[in-house]
Amino acid sequence: MSIFLNHIALNVKDFDWYEHFFRTVCNMSIYREDGVSPHRKIWFSEGIQLNETGCLTV
């Protein structure tokens, strides 16, 4: 029996950091973007979805 994963959705507060990480470190490509801050979403071709959960407070 084979098991595989084809989609993961991550809820993140530091949206820009995660987007940069997956694009540059993991060399993933964005194929869809939706929404505006603080509720943006991005889907990468490799099966990762990022959901922005709100602004960071400093």
Q: Domain boundaries in the chain?
A: 11-46
Which residues lie below 8 Å from residue 38, measured CB to CB, with a gap of 6+? 52, 53, 54, 55
- How sure is the predictor about 3, in pLDDT bands with cuts at 50, 70 and 90? confident
Q: How far is CA 8 from the centre of its chain?
A: 9
The residues facing 33 across adjacent strands are 42
- How sure is the predictor about 58, in pLDDT bands with cuts at 50, 70 and 90? low
Task: Please name which of 12, 43, 4, 46 lies closest in space to residue 28, comparing C-alpha atoms.
Answer: 46
**In this predicted model, what pLDDT tens digit does every residue of 11-45 receive, in sequence order?**
999 999 999 999 999 999 999 999 998 899 999 99
